[in-house]
Structure formats: C-alpha cells, structure tokens
Amino acid sequence: MLRFTLPSIVMMVFNAFYTIVDGGFVSNFVGTGALSAVNIVYPTQSLTLAIGIMLATGGSAVCARQMGQGDDQGAKHSFSLLLFCGAAIGLLMAVVGTVFAGPIVRLLGSNDAIFQYCYDYMFYLSLFVPFAILQVMFQFFFTTAGRPGLGLAATLLGGVANIVFDYILIVPANLGIKGAAIATGIGFVLPSVMGLLYFSFNRKGHLCLVKPVLNLQILGESCINGSSEMVSNLATAITTLLFNLVMMNLLGEDGVAAITIIFYAQFLFTAVFFGFTSGVAPLVSFNYGAENHTRLQKLYRLSLIFVGICSALAFGGSLLLKGTVIRAFAKPGTAVYALAEEGMTLFAIGFLFMGFNIFVSGFFTALSNGRVSAILSFLRTLVFIVAAILLLPLLLGINGVWLSIPFAELLAAGVSAFYLAKLKPNYNY
C-alpha cells in the first residue's frame, strides 16, 4: 500500500507546493492585487481539474477492474479512449478561455482595479488547458499501470520547471502575471509529454496507447464513476467564487488576498489526503474486481488509521506553521497578514474532518459506486459549504467566513460515516 500511495502523496504535495510558490512569486514581485486576481481566475482552473479528475478517477477504476479481471486489452482501449476525450475537451476549453477571457473574468467578480491582471492570467493560462487535463490523467494512470514512481518523476519535473520559469519570466523577464501563467502552463506541458512518450512506446505494460475505439458504455461509466470527484472540483469553483464575492464585499481586495493565502495552505495540507486516496484507489479497485475480500478489508482498516493520524498532524501543523506560510505572501504588520493569521486559526479546525471525507468519497469511487461518492462530494463541497458561507457571515461576521469550511466538513463527516456503516455488508470491507 505504501509503495503505491507514497509517490501519489508526494506528487500531490509537490503540486500544492509549486502552486504556493507560484502565488508567492506573484504576491512578492507583482503585488497582492495580482494575487487576488489569481484567486478570482481560480474557478476556471477548478473546472479544468474537474474534467481531468473525472476522467482519471472514474477511468482508473474501470481500467483497474478490467485488469483485475484479466482483460488487459479492454483496459488499453478504455485508457486510450479516455485520453483522447480529455485532449479534445481541453482544446475546446482553450478556445473558449482565450476568446472570452474578458467577459469570463468580469463574471467571476473582477473589478476595474485588477481587471488587467485577471484578463492576462486567464488568457495565457487557457492556452495550456489540454496539457493541464492530460497531466492530471497521467498522474492517476501511471499508478494504475503499476508505475507510480514515473508519475512522481513527471510531477517533480513539471513542478521544478514551473518554479524555475516563475522566477525567469516574472523577475528577469519582467512579464508579471503573464509570466506566472506561462510558467504554470510549462509545468503542465512537460509531464503530459512524458506520459505520452511512455504510454506510446512502452508496449509491454498493462496500459499503453492504442487506436481509440468509441465505446459509449465505458465512457459513460467512467464519467459517472468519476462524477463525485468532478462534483468536488466544480463545487470548489463555485465556493471559491462565493468566498471571493463575500470577501470583496466585506473587506475588499485585502480580504480576497487573505483568503487566497489560506486556500494555498489548504492545498498543502489536504494534498496528503488526495494523494493517499488516489494512490490506494487502484488497489481497492483491483482487489474488489478480483473478489479478494481479505485484502480489501485490510486496505480499509489501514487507510482509516493513516487518515486519522494525518488529520491530527494536519491540524497541528497548520497552527504551528501558519506564520511561516503567511509570511511567504504578505509582510507582518500588513492588513492582509493580520486577516490571514486570524482566519487560519479558525479554518484549521476543518482539517480534523477533511481527510476522512476525502478518503470515503474516493473509496466508494474505487468500488465503482459513483452514486454514493457523488452524493458525498455534492453535499460536502457544495451544499454544506454554500449554506455555511451564506448563513454564518450573517451571524458571526468575518469569523463566519473562516468557520464555513469546518462547519461543512463536520456535517459531511456524519454523512460519510453513515454510508460506510450502511454499505459495509454490500462490499465486505
């Protein structure tokens, strides 16, 4: 289990880390206004991730199940079809994002003061959407193919390239927020190319690229099975938009910058949970397909122990390291720093429940129960958070904004525990 999950954890943590570094360069060398612009555009990135993760998680479960049943040829055809669809959707999104960049950022809440920052970031980042989707898909399919180490290497390559080009394009080249978008895009391109090369020329593995054959049943099953993870990312787009609008109304650009910093910290601490879940999912799917109930039960128990320990560490670490994280974006003594420090103290409570909820949703996806997984994700990442962000600030003011995520995660943990208990006899975990 550790051999499969540790590379995925490192991949996700590194992805979060270079996202944070990207924001750090923008904040320190362009300004906190530009950092606010990055968060305003972020819902479009969440949409891109939603497409990639839906195809990757749902498709990985399908391919892993086919491999567990001994149908390697079927797994190869499914894999190739999903990659082709991901690339095609990415091209369409790139066209829309570049042509309509201005209206989109206005819709997302940009004001006149930061409109140019938002437009530039949106336009240049949209050029790389196909590679962003493929990169996400390869992260999951490297693990499914039994080569999680290659997935880790591809992610590290992309992350290092992003950091290096962040510096080159923002500081010496003085391209500002355009440079940040291009550097992020380069970080998508390199892992995608590495994945295409590997799966094109390595013909001996369980998965490789073959001529795609349209199979609507496989495509539909993959999309439905991965819909919970898609819902999660779509909900992130919606809730980020709501947080930005509420913060802009309550505290202006400083409020948006502060919550952007806290979201960056969230990326870092939750990356462990997403990485573990994506790494263990193929093992769950394989043993479920092979009807190896003993190993499935062991995976389930070990996963809950791991998630529980990491949840406690994430809560404690977020409180201990909050000053270090915030200083990477804002100087002590500034309004943005004070807001972010106050917010992190309350926001950190959510880390106690977040890991459990992420794992349970991914666990049911791996068991090919996309319906339950989608229900859990829909409630956790949309219904509960939207209710909290609309209600709590009216009752508690700015503290209600910071407590919205913990409140939603606590409610979601109750629903997750209910479904685990209810469906345990069905799957023998």
pTM over 0.85: no
Answer whether 37's CB lies under 8 Å from 303's CB: no
The answer to whether the CB of 44 falls within 8 A of the CB of 127 is no
Residues in CB range of 236: below 8 A, 6 or more apart: 43, 46, 381
Closest listed residue to residue 310, CA positions, set 266, 354, 365, 345: 354
Closest by Cα among 369, 355, 378 to 275: 355
Distance from C-alpha of 21 to C-alpha of 334, rounded to nearest angstrom: 20
d(CA 322, CA 109): 28
Q: How far apart are CA 200 and CA 67, in angstroms?
A: 19
**Gap between the Cα atoms of 163 and 42, Å rounded:** 19
Which residues does 268 contact at the CB level (< 8 Å), separation at least 6? 13, 16, 17, 20, 325
Q: What is the pLDDT of residues 356-413, one digit of tens each?
A: 999 999 898 888 887 898 889 889 888 999 999 999 999 998 999 999 999 999 999 9
pLDDT of residue 41: 92
Q: How far apart are CA 181 and CA 121, in angstroms?
A: 6
Residue 257 · residue 34 · CB < 8 Å: no
Q: Which of 416, 429, 428, 410 is nearest to 353 (CA)?
A: 410
How many Å apart are CA 294 and CA 276, to the nearest integer?
Answer: 20
Backbone angles phi, psi at 268, to 5 degrees: -65, -45
Instruction: Check residue 417 and give its pLDDT.
Output: 95
CA distances 107 to 40, 135, 249, 267, Å, are: 10, 27, 15, 25
Q: What is the mean pLDDT of each run of 10 residues along the chain (429 residues)?
A: 80 76 85 86 89 88 84 87 94 96 91 90 96 92 84 85 92 92 94 93 83 86 79 79 87 86 83 87 84 88 93 90 86 89 92 94 86 87 90 92 94 95 88
DSSP-assigned letters across all residues of 124-178:
HHHTTHHHHHHHHHHHHHHHHTT-HHHHHHHHHHHHHHHHHHHHHHHTTS--THH
CB 90 within 8 A of CB 130: yes
- Contact residues for 66 (Cβ-Cβ < 8 A; gap 6+): 72, 74, 75, 78, 289
pLDDT of res. 178: 94
